[in-house]
Chains A and B, each alone.
Chain A
């Protein structure tokens, strides 16, 4: 018994070391990831978007989320409240008043920004998040332990957690339609957008395009490509006629957010036991207890 208990502690150590050993590689895929020059992105032109919400419809459809009928999305009363992406809506469109032309309010689609230096990736202690070569930041159900650090770390409050679900709750966020984009397809929202307010292409080309648009229409756009530099650059970028703060796109410095999140993570590791290790320990203790009981039973017999 002593022997097996010692074995367990050893194994736990190995698991711990294993996690510690495996994890950094995967996690560092974020901040230290070599970003592909050809990674893709989307340029959202908020001066073109009309708030038809077809992107919401298509996004749900592409992710097995019940999406009802297309005409349901003509309902514009949803704009009365600000919405955030959630477990059943990986992207949402919000509407803002346009003081310059009341007939044309400003509509802003929000979803995961697919950061180049994703805080969610560095925050995730089990490496469930990863930045893919095509620019997508995706999430692996099998690895996630539901700690929700990603939700805290994300500078755009994107990841959502299936609180309602008792069994295997998932983190839900826009995955850049990875199933489609990994094989050269285009995101569902981009495909459906009737206004082509969303342009899908290589990120560096999108930056060039955005510059040209601003240069050619200085009255139409403010001279700022949101996401070009924010939090170290994001795959999704925005153009707008008004300051992005007014459109509820948070002001961020050019410094990658993971710096901040790393300190959160380090603090967690400093003062707390990482959940997986905790689970492993607890599991181990249970196992030992069970064994002990068994032994006792055995000895009792």
Chain B
């Protein structure tokens, strides 16, 4: 009887122990995986997950990708809070930068199984005495992620860069978390290259490409290393980028054709591109657009200037004429577009002759201007 009782208690206790081991990441048992794809033993526990060194999902490289602007801005790492002030990791900034290299999110969140993104600690446990030698500990995991890149360009391994000893002054950058979380890497405004050509100067308006032309950093910076921009020992300009290849991915040009060369090469700095030179002034609404909103492909050729070429739904009743800065009086409210804009040529002077004899625009108006005419 006694034996039975103790057996009962053992079962209860063991049961408790087993059930209190909540799965490491939410619903991971529901992931399309077999337990033994990751765990080598039958009863993995939190402390000893007995992860096989390279489960199949790792080989397949399953990882989660998220757009860099949709991630946590700051991550506080305070595992060693007893010795150091917490390290504040600018997560979003790093996400943006890693999008420029081959890895993306996966360069740190390596081999994330299907489901939520896991924190390092879910697989990498604290402490140097580990039950499972095949999975590196938390300290090694953190430092491996940070130092492998940082020492490439800082050429040192100073702890102080991330760890401030308890009670010491915070590092430059302070503790203004809002400011820290909003920090973005400043974008180079203009780069002037000096080449060996007859017309040596190439002026590259870097900010225009990112702000106006609608390019993402990653459109040109596809395979960067951290050191390319951050190396303390090498000047950025010394690092060659494949210029023609990069430009040609958008600008059609024949490097054997002198006329094409002159599009970029000059004897002096070229002014930035002005859309007005094409005969179409960008103003009001249109200057908020990026090139690719209207132009497609790599040839930025002349577009059909008819409004409805783009604004397909501009018809009677759907178009609010007031956006042009002109409103109709009662008599003209219900007019058809083509009554005044012959053949829908909105870039040409409207006519009144369809209904009126001897009345011309703009001597007589079918309503009034509410503001200076700017629409184009």
Which A residues fall within an 8 A CB radius of B?
A: 48, 50-52, 70-71, 74, 76, 103-104, 186, 190-191, 193-197, 199-201, 205-206, 209, 212-213, 216
CB distance from A234 to the nearest CB of B (A): 18
Shortest distance between the CB of A218 and any CB in chain B (Å): 12
Name the contact of B153 in the complex, choosing from A103, A196, A201 (C-beta under 8 A): A103
CA distance A250 to B144 in the complex (A): 28
Asked whether any CB of chain A lies closer than 8 Å to the CB of B171, the reply is: no
The answer to whether B151 and A196 have CB atoms under 8 Å apart is no
Q: Is B68 part of the contact surface with A, judged by Cβ < 8 Å? A: no
> CB of B242 within 8 A of chain A?
no
A52 surroundings in chain B (CB, below 8 A): 157, 159
Residues of A within 8 A of B128 (CB): 186, 190-191, 193, 196, 200
Cα of A20 to Cα of B157 in the assembled complex, Å:
52
B94 sits at the interface (CB 8 A): no
In-complex Cβ contact of A195 among B134, B144, B159 (8 A):
B144
Known: A71-B159, A194-B139. A50 touches B151 (CB 8 A): yes
B309 within 8 A of A: no
- A residues in contact with B134, CB < 8 Å: 209, 212
Output the nearest chain A residue to B149 by Cβ-Cβ distance. Answer: A103
Residue interface mask B213-254, A partner, CB < 8 A = 1 = 000000000000001000100000000000000000000000
- The reply to whether A71 and B140 contact each other, CB–CB distance below 8 Å, is no
Interface of chain B residues 117 through 154 with chain A (CB within 8 A): 128-130, 133-134, 136-137, 139-141, 143-144, 147-148, 151-153
Among the listed B54, B133, B139, which residue makes an inter-chain contact with A199, where contact means beta carbons less than 8 Å apart?
B133
B160: CB under 8 A from chain A? yes
Contacts of A104 in B (CB 8 A): 148, 151-152
List the 8 closest A-B pairs by CB distance, nearest first: A196-B140, A52-B157, A103-B152, A194-B143, A201-B133, A216-B54, A212-B53, A209-B133
In whole angstroms, how far apart are the Cα atoms of A244 and B47 in the complex? 36
CB of A213 to closest CB in B, whole Å? 8
> In whole angstroms, how far apart are the Cα atoms of A70 and B160 in the complex?
11
**Residues A186 and B129 in contact in the complex (CB < 8 Å), given A71-B158, A103-B153, A216-B54:** yes
A-B contact pairs, 21 of them (CB 8 A): A48-B140, A52-B157, A74-B158, A103-B227, A104-B151, A186-B128, A190-B128, A193-B140, A194-B139, A194-B147, A195-B140, A195-B143, A196-B136, A196-B144, A197-B140, A201-B130, A205-B133, A206-B133, A212-B54, A213-B53, A216-B54
Contact A200:B129 (CB < 8 A) given known A71-B158, A76-B156, A216-B53: yes
Contacts of A70 in B (CB 8 A): 159
Nearest CB in chain A to that of B53: its residue: A212
B29 CB to nearest chain A CB (Å) = 26
CA distance A277 to B130 in the complex (A): 49
Given known contacts A103-B227, A209-B134, what 13 new A-B pairs fall within 8 Å (CB)? A50-B151, A71-B160, A74-B159, A103-B155, A103-B231, A104-B148, A193-B140, A194-B159, A196-B128, A199-B133, A201-B133, A206-B133, A212-B134
Q: Within 8 Å CB of B129, what residues of A? A: 186, 200
Bound-complex Cα distance A278 to B231 (A): 64
Instruction: Judge whether A48 and B156 touch: CB under 8 Å.
Output: no
On chain A, the residues within 8 Å of B136 by CB distance are: 196
A196 touching B137 in the complex, CB below 8 Å, given contacts A103-B153, A186-B128, A186-B129: yes
A104 to B151, CA, bound (A): 8
**Residues in A whose Cβ lies below 8 Å from that of B53:** 209, 212-213, 216
Residues of B within 8 A of A190 (CB): 128
Cα of A201 to Cα of B157 in the assembled complex, Å: 26
User: In whole angstroms, what is the CA distance A196 to B54 when docked?
Assistant: 18
Closest to A187 in B: B128
Of listed B130, B157, B160, residue having the most chain A CB within 10 A:
B157
CB distance from B160 to the nearest CB of A (A): 7
Partner of A50, one of B54, B130, B157: B157
How far, in Å, is A225 (CB) from chain B's closest CB? 14
Asked whether A74 and B151 contact (CB < 8 A) given A195-B143, A196-B137, A209-B134, the answer is: no
User: Which of A48, A196, A197 has the most chain B CB atoms inside 10 A of its CB?
Assistant: A196
Chain A nearest CB, measured from B142 CB (Å): 8
Q: A200 to B151, alpha carbons, bound, how many Å?
A: 25
